[in-house]
Structure 1
Amino acid sequence: MHVPDGFINAPVSVATGAVAAVAVAVSLRGARRELAGAGAGGVAGAERTAPLAGLVAAFIFAVQMLNFPVAAGTSGHLLGGALAAILVGPYTGVLCVSVVLLMQGVLFADGGLTALGVNITDMAIVTTVVAYALFRGLVKVLPRRRRSVTVASFVAALVSVPAAAVAFTGLYALGGTADVPIGKVFTAMVGVHVLIGIGEATITALTVGAVIAVRPDLVHGARGLTKPLELRTSPLATPADEPAPAAAPASAAPAPAAPRRSVRRVWLAGVAAALVCAGGVSYYASASPDGLEKVAHDHGIDAKAEDHAAKDSPLADYSVKDITDPRLAGGLAGVIGVGATLAVGTGVFVILRRRRNTGADDRPATGAERPSENV
């Protein structure tokens, strides 16, 4: 659903650019809290979540290269807003998808540069907000089980895609450059993107389910599912028979902190999966136009489409220039894209983490916040 240059006029493009800038600024502040609050122990959670957030961005970039057929002559691909929000949080999720869209527009000529605000608003903000709001609502009413998180992920991702199609229709009604009846645009966009949403939901649910099965503590949307350990007494004992708890000695040492589990294996597995998808599986992706491209061509929305400013980029159209073997050219471009997105995404989140930690270190420590020797 990458909107090219020329689909939306300049005033609406500028307005959506302003909306995207504000949303990214808000997400930067929110992501600091999400990164600092991840896992047990605040800073420890941030140290492991920042690289994972960069990995989520790289994974979304890779899976977006895997267009899947949804109808005759039409394909779809992951948008990723629901997946990112559920895995690393809604604010961090907006930033993840925004990084992906920026890398695609600058390096691969995918999505217009003047339409970057439109794409961030539609694909990063709308999908993330709609998906996460629906996801949280479902998790509250469903049984507190891991399977419920997977089910909620499926439904949230399914709804987020046609929601983005509705948002695009609204933007086109405000600033479309071609004279096309909005009713036709709405019907065509929503119809095909409901089908694409099924693919989005399947990918999202499978990915979230796989991570939950291995490390549920790394899934933002699964927090609170694990109940704390409870000390149970014998069922035969009565309250009068139970001994009163002994007072802890004043000199007793605090209980040792729970050991932190490494995320290295999860990170390496995620990077490997992204490289395989972008570097190998992408060669077998559907070559049919995606939902927006198909609707634009069939209904004349692309009548005033403009060439991308980076159309002569060495990586334009996800193919390395001057390499004649299409498998090698596409695979190498995918690997470069994964590496670049991983580096930029991780860098952004590491900087956010460090700024959050620096701000925390500058505050005077209270009795409950004084650092322990185990940190």
Structure 2
Amino acid sequence: MSAVVWTAVGSLAAWLWLLLCQGFFWRTDLRLPPRRDPEDWPAVCVVVPARDEAAVLADSLPSLLAQDYPGRAEVFLVDDGSSDGTGDLARELAGRHGGLPLTVTTPGEPPAGWTGKLWAVRHGIARARARAPEYLLLTDADIAHAPDSLRELVASARHGGFDLVSQMARLRVASAWERLVVPAFVYFFAQLYPFRRIAVRGSRTAAAAGGCVLLRLEAAERARIPDAIRQAVIDDVALARAVKRSGGHIWLGLAERVDSVRPYPGLPDLWRMVSRSAYAQLRHSPVLLAGTVLGLALVYLVPPVAFFAGLASGSAPAAAAGSLAWLVMTATYLPMLRYYRQPLALAPLLPFTAFLYLLMTVDSAVLHHRGRGAAWKGRTYARPEPADPAPERG
């Protein structure tokens, strides 16, 4: 058998393993866990870090202020050095729409060793702690919530005994490039962090979606959030790991009525979204980068290449193995396209999208080595020093 055939068979074996043994990552039916309304609704403080978010705030902040929550709740928007009037706009929106009480505060520039977002979160949590809430809702400034979002999150957390409940907001899918790239972004994330394993106590899989994280204040203090993850660029995954490592019970699933309103209309916008943090996800390791590139090539690029090479050379085994691997890949992508209400005809194009992600990941490493990695809204973060681990629960 030729090298092409063996490689195609290896790719097919990888896809069969992913299909059956990777936590059924491809299923998209995981929603908020079963809930029952508590007898007493706990106090909640909503913390919104915001830096230059005036363009999206009018589509997101009113949805937080309009939360239909039976207990005590208030919103803290932390204006992280914005230059576009984000803080003033937030006050204007609160005056116009009313609803939950809003406090706008500014933390100042982050000290060395902190990312701007986590410094803002720290400041917001400190302000919220004075209100003695049981829960914190950490949400981004581009996230719009249905009126019952907070009620559903709290009821699910209370009923399920979760210290952290997170929903991956449905990202905007409007432009042609968003349709091609965005569903795949969530698909790849679920493949890396299978949602069903996250809620299993004792499993090593931990992740959250930073746009919507309900966190018990006691669990945050036990895990030393955010101080223990102060340098994390991918802060949502780092937060979930810290909470789980300190003994917390966590849950992550897909959202139905929590949406991102941030547009990524062109490929350059999506490219920056991925490349700014991809190399950080690989812990800035050239070895992990090389392994990731080879893995992406084997799993996503080999099937179509083997199929067409087999047809061109008359190698039936290569064409068969390549087509079967491509078929399994396509089938696992269909549920995500349905979730995003996109044409199922996009599923066979997943190898092309994966190739784009491969290039974005390599570009992320190149930008890092040029001193321009992990850049976001005027700030660039170097490779973090090892942070003190959160204490283990005895």
Q: Which has the higher helix share?
A: 1
* Greater RCO structure (CA 8 Å; 6+ sep): 1
Radius of gyration: which is bigger? Answer: 1
Q: Same fold (TM over 0.5)?
A: no
TM-score w.r.t. the length of structure 2 is 0.25
- Normalized against structure 1, the TM-score is what? 0.26
